[in-house]
Amino acid sequence: MKKGILIGISGASGSGKTLIANTIISHLGSSRVTMMQEDSYYKDLSDIPFDERTGRNFDHPDAFDHELLAKHISELLEGKTISHPVYDYKTHSRLKETQTVGPHKIVILDGILILNEPSLRELMDICVFVDTSPDICFIRRLERDIKERGRSVDSVIKQYMETVRPMYFQFIEPSKRYADIIIPRGGKNLVAIDILTTKIKDLLKAI
């Protein structure tokens, strides 16, 4: 039996998905929300040589373990606790240890391809797409990957041109058609975020 609601927030890498999610959490209270990120469910590549791992397409649907993610989301919505995987971006592998994540009334799922995946969409009460200019997204991604993930400028640009940009137009942007709410200008669109937060509060009254 479903005991919670799921809000899916999709859009390009660097579009402002996480900022929007965190703003919603600040409005609703962290004690009521479980935050989940698709990035944590990259498939483990520890069984292949490191040089091969770095050349993989991490923006293709096949890069993610969506089956496990959908299972964990379902369990959270049923009020169960999960063992959440921990992904190491520098080695492109999962760590042996996991994190225990408990259920709350609201689950927010943040990810680039979550609206492209039917098994995840069917669990969502609200589907959101963050519609930000690809140029802005690239600049944000470049800054993040250098500062937070230890990447070089050349490697980020190469990955963007070879996989990130093509996959955005092949899979991510087309998934916008599944969105209930489209938010332009990312996390700066406070009016849209307020409307979304109000809708979430209305859904909470029904469970």
Q: What is the pLDDT along the chain (207 residues), one digit of tens a residue?
A: 678 999 999 999 999 999 999 999 999 999 999 999 999 999 999 999 988 888 889 999 999 999 999 999 999 999 999 999 999 988 889 999 999 999 999 999 999 999 999 999 999 999 999 999 999 999 999 999 898 888 899 989 998 999 999 999 999 999 999 999 999 988 889 999 999 999 999 999 888
How far, in Å, CA of 168 to CA of 133, rounded? 12
pLDDT recorded at residue 150 = 81
CA-CA-CA-CA dihedral for 149, 158, 44, 179, to nearest 10: 90
CATH 3.90.1150.10 fits 14-191, yes or no: no
- Domain ranges within the chain, ordered by starting residue: 14-191
Give me the helices (H) in the chain, please: 17-28, 50-54, 66-77, 118-121, 134-149, 153-159, 165-167, 190-204
Place of tokens 């230890």: 150
How far, in Å, CA of 207 to CA of 141, rounded? 37
pTM attached to this predicted model:
0.93
- Taking CB atoms within 8 Å and a gap of at least 24, the contacts of 142-145 are 144/14
pLDDT recorded at residue 1 = 66
pLDDT recorded at residue 55 = 82
For residue 64, the 8-state DSSP code is B
